[in-house]
Structure 1
Amino acid sequence: MRAEIVILALIVGFCTWAFRFFPTRADLSAMPQGGPLSRFLAATGPAAIATLFTASALPYLQGEMPVPLILGTGAVLVVFAASRSVVGATMAGSAAYALGVWLI
């Protein structure tokens, strides 16, 4: 394996860990409600889900869309539109995707 790939993987892994670890240790109680940091933190959940969805759906654009992907995507869209809950939409999408895999 090339050293550049290993170094890149380590850097990305460290940044991902830091991005997940440090917000859990920070005291955000004094943060202004509508401030830029508050808006940034509120946007990271949907942005992460959109990124993961894009990365997983791109290979299917060259072929036919599988049933689990369609079920999972539909569940995410419906639950998020109804409740505006990222957690609920993620859980519903995971459950619907698993159901689609189980049906096939």
Structure 2
Amino acid sequence: MDGSLLMLALIVGGCNWAFRFLPTKLDLSGQAPEGVLARFLAATGPAAIATLFVASVLPMVSGDWAKMAPLGAGVLAVVAVFAWRRSVVQATLAGAAVYGAVFALV
């Protein structure tokens, strides 16, 4: 294994740990609810989810529409079910089911 890859993994892992652990240990009782730190911490979760989504989807994106059909159908199912039911669990299950069904058909 390359030393720079190991160093990068340790740095990213340490930052990930800090973003998850430190907000639970910081005393934020004196902070204003609409302060800069509160807004930063509130934005960290959605930003992490968006980053993981892009990192997961990017290798699947290609010029072949037949190979991208399951991905597109699954993403549309997740968005549609979440907009309809406001349930992350149901949206995730629907997206997985639609992705699997379209993958089996294509």
Is TM-score (shorter-chain normalized) higher than 0.5? yes
**Is 1:76–1:92's contact at 8 Å kept on the other side of the alignment?**
no
Partner of 1:14: 14
Pick which of 94-103 and 28-37 moved more: 94-103
Q: Between the two proteins, what is the percent identity of the paired residues?
A: 44
Partner of 2:43: 43
Counterpart amino acid of residue 47 in structure 1: A
Q: Distance in 1 between matches of 2:76 and 2:24?
A: 29
**Is 1:72–1:95's contact at 8 Å kept on the other side of the alignment?**
no
**Is 2:74–2:96's contact at 8 Å kept on the other side of the alignment?**
no
Structure 2: unaligned runs, 5 residues or longer: none
Per the alignment, do residues 57 and 74 of structure 1 end up closer, same or farther by CA in structure 2, a change over 3 Å counting? same
Pick which of 66-75 and 33-42 moved more: 66-75
TM-score (norm 2): 0.70
Structure 1: unaligned runs, 5 residues or longer: none
TM-score (norm 1): 0.72
**Equivalent residue runs for 1:1-104 within 5 Å:** 1-62=1-62, 63=64, 64-67=67-70, 70-76=73-79, 79=82, 88-89=87-88, 91-100=89-98, 102-103=100-101, 104=104
Instruction: Tell me which structure has the larger Cα radius of gyration.
Output: 2
**Is 1:67–1:100's contact at 8 Å kept on the other side of the alignment?**
yes
Aligned-residue CA RMSD in angstroms? 2.7
Aligned pair count? 99
For each residue in 1:69-99, what CA deviation from the matched residue of structure 2 results, as whole angstroms up to 9, or x when unmatched?
A: 532454246526875xxxx44x344322332
Q: Distance in 2 between matches of 1:77 and 1:45?
A: 21
Q: Distance in 2 between matches of 1:81 and 1:49?
A: 20
